[in-house]
Amino acid sequence: MTNQTVSAGLRTAPRPPASATAWSGDPHGEVDHPVPTCPVEVTLRALRGRWTTLVVRELFAGERTFGDLATALPALSDKVLADRLAQLVTTGVVVRVREPGWPTRVRYSLTARGRALREVLEAMWAWGLGATGAAAPPGGADPVALRG
Amino acid sequence: MTNQTVSAGLRTAPRPPASATAWSGDPHGEVDHPVPTCPVEVTLRALRGRWTTLVVRELFAGERTFGDLATALPALSDKVLADRLAQLVTTGVVVRVREPGWPTRVRYSLTARGRALREVLEAMWAWGLGATGAAAPPGGADPVALRG
DNA sequence: CAGTATCCGGAGAGATACTG
DNA sequence: CAGTATCTCTCCGGATACTG
């Protein structure tokens, strides 16, 4: 994963010369190889890896400690959980707050940006269900989830 | 990646007992480990891998042959291109049509389902831009792209 | 409690060469 | 033209053991 392309009018252009850059010009660069700054790339990178969406899903329900998450996801090893949380912190999805005292306690919760992932996950959920144009359930209360 | 969880009311539940299944019940199972049938999983799998979104982006502009794609994405090897196309075909995003005759010619184009990915990619694009609530550009003509 | 340190095995990406 | 066949190399994901 690595692009930075996008955009471009989607109105079915019937076969430009091949790699034509002939569509209507739009601000996004038309890249011929993956670039890490592409917004789509960025999102894909934030959600990348096994367990990632499950961790996010758990956090959508509220703040959690490392132990809470480990308990909720028994099959997930400490190492991978730590990896995922670190990844989510660096991508700005999660905030990590270490409580003073002993034993050590760390609270993890979604940032505003993390909560904004809901729209993305709903779009993914809708597509994954297989409908061609079916949108998310009206009322928007349902497909909250993440990776389900 | 492998879940099947999702859903669940997102209304900020302030710390259920931990792995509580206590939210309001909704049809989607609350999984504690990745399951391949989860809609979000399905979508993630369809877009997984380097170059995938770039190939889809190329096809959003219209039908392409293997060679067209290879020319448009010079840094992409034949092997990986073939891998990606096969992946996109099995996930129902792309249709492969082999032209009779010689030299061999194969036309690739998006299915209705593949075109439906546009919404997903737009949501990803919007999130990747960093805005918390900023939606896709009005008029919807712009962030067509894929991975950009 | 909340991780980090190692080690290992498998999947995926890329390069190169060959075929229907 | 449109792939397939190999091989290599690197990046995870997972298991186990140890620490602030």
Q: What are phi and psi of B64, to 5 degrees?
A: -145, 155
Asked if strand C comes closer than 7 Å to B104 Cβ, the answer is yes
Strands (E) across chain A are located at: 64-65, 94-99, 105-110
- What crossing angle do the helices spanning A117-128 and A52-60 adopt, rounded to 10°? 120
Task: Answer whether residue B42 shows pLDDT above 70.
Answer: yes
Let me know if residue B25 belongs to a domain.
Answer: no
A92 vs B22, which has greater pLDDT? A92
Chain pair A-B, CB pairs under 8 angstroms: 295
Residue A43, pLDDT score: 96
Nearest CA in chain A to B126: A39
SS3 of A55, please?
helix
Task: Answer whether residue B2 shows pLDDT above 80.
Answer: no
Let me know if residue A89 belongs to a domain.
Answer: yes
Task: Answer whether residue B22 shows pLDDT above 90.
Answer: no
Let me know if residue B137 belongs to a domain.
Answer: no
Phi-psi region of A110 (alpha: psi -120 to 50; beta: other; left: phi over 0): beta
Boundaries of domain holding B85: 35-125
Task: Answer whether residue A141 shows pLDDT above 90.
Answer: no
- Residues of chain A in contact with residue B64, where contact means CB-CB under 8 angstroms, are 15, 18
Strands (E) across chain B are located at: 64-65, 94-99, 105-110
Under the banding of pLDDT at 50, 70 and 90, the label for residue A130 is confident
Which nucleotide shows the minimum CA-to-C1' distance to residue B77? C14
Let me know if residue A29 belongs to a domain.
Answer: no
Q: Which nucleotides of C are covered by protein (CB under 7 A)?
A: 1-6, 12-17, 20
Residue B17, pLDDT score: 37
Alpha helices in B36-77 (DSSP H): 39-47, 52-60, 66-72
CA of B102, C1' of D4: distance in angstroms: 19
Under the banding of pLDDT at 50, 70 and 90, the label for residue A39 is very high
Q: Which residue, among B23, B124, B125, B132, would best test binding to A if mutated, counting the most A CBs under 10 Å from its CB?
A: B124
User: What total number of domains does chain A contain?
Assistant: 1
First to last CA, chain B: 22
B128 vs B32, which has greater pLDDT? B128
Task: Answer whether residue B45 shows pLDDT above 80.
Answer: yes
Let me know if residue A12 belongs to a domain.
Answer: no
* Residue A42, Cβ density class (10 Å: 0-12 exposed, 13-18 middle, ≥19 buried): buried
Low-confidence winner among A22-31, A106-115, B66-75 (lowest mean pLDDT): A22-31
Q: CATH number, domain at B75? A: 1.10.10.10
Let me know if residue B61 belongs to a domain.
Answer: yes
Average pLDDT, chain B: 78
* Residue B92, Cβ density class (10 Å: 0-12 exposed, 13-18 middle, ≥19 buried): middle
CA of B128, C1' of C2: distance in angstroms: 30
Nearest CA in chain B to A141: B9
How do residues B102-125 score in pLDDT, each as one tens digit? 999 999 999 999 999 999 999 999
Q: Which residue is nearest to nucleotide D3 (CA to C1')?
A: B82
Task: Answer whether residue A55 shows pLDDT above 90.
Answer: yes
Average pLDDT over residues B119-144: 68
